[in-house]
Amino acid sequence: MAVISIASSFGAGASVVARHVGTRLGWQVVNRAIPVQVAQRLSRPLEEALAHDERTESGLGSLFSRWAIWLAPMAGGELPPEALAREDIFKAQTEEVIRGLAERSNAVVVGRAAAFVLGDRPDALHVRLDGPLEARVRQAMAALGMSEDEARNALSQTDRARSLYVRHFYHHDWADPSVYHLIINSTALPLETCTKLVLEAAETRFRASPQSSDYR
């Protein structure tokens, strides 16, 4: 089995590229299904899982934004334990879902720090989409029908939240190029071209990996 993880800064088109890659390969694309599975595992309402999800505006990213002051040097760069006790539980379950996907099926996973969860497994390809801030603002406006102010605000909040999430839980820089096998400026290239680059990278990586012998 094999997994392609696609991380991106806001406005870089990860959901679109993931959908196209999944369609071309005939693989499942896992995005919103992750909080559903987490809710089922914990026997909690879906709304509660969404409230702790890394990719939702009202989720863990908002919690990090609300507690961002605690990341100042005077607080030692740590968040109060009581603020994250429940988040640790949801994070652990999210990791189990992602690892289970890697073991049982071919999948394209969007976000959820999957590159950090799976690490340098030979049956995983980690992709990051990014681009200059202004270009991502324009791309988000066109794709999501946002005003410029809405796109700038969403970009700032989302990128900061995801960066803090990875820094806190994985003690790593979210954008560290050493974590990813392929990094693409998806604002300079059409998303269809980005899709082709991901498919070519997957072909090369998985054909050479015995662990991903089911890749096709």
User: Tens digits of per-residue pLDDT, 156-191?
Assistant: 888 887 887 788 788 899 999 999 999 999 999 999
CA distances from 28 to 23, 25, 91, 104, 119 (A): 8, 9, 22, 12, 20
Q: Which domains does the chain have, with CATH numbers?
A: 3-212 (3.40.50.300)
User: Tens digits of per-residue pLDDT, 49-66?
Assistant: 445 554 444 444 454 444
**pTM, full prediction:** 0.76
Q: How far apart are CA 152 and CA 54, in angstroms?
A: 19
**Tokens (6 digits) for 102:** 């890697």
- Radius of gyration over alpha carbons of the chain, in Å? 17
How many Å separate Cα 9 from the centre of its chain? 9
Those residues whose C-beta lies under 8 Å from the C-beta of residue 17, and which sit 6 or more positions away, are: 6, 127, 129, 186, 191, 194, 195, 198
Task: Indicate whether 14 pLDDT > 70.
Answer: yes
Give, for 48, the enclosing helix (H) or strand (E): helix 46-50
Q: How far apart are CA 96 and CA 125, in angstroms?
A: 18
Q: How far apart are CA 35 and CA 90, in angstroms?
A: 9
User: Tens digits of per-residue pLDDT, 19-45?
Assistant: 999 999 999 998 754 444 444 444 444
Average pLDDT taken over every residue of the chain: 78
What is Dmax (Cα atoms) for the chain? 52
User: What's the full length of the chain, in residues?
Assistant: 216
CA atoms within 13 A on the CB side of 159: 19
Q: How far apart are CA 140 and CA 63, in angstroms?
A: 23
Task: Indicate whether 132 pLDDT > 80.
Answer: yes
CA distances from 123 to 136, 184, 208, 209 (A): 30, 20, 10, 7
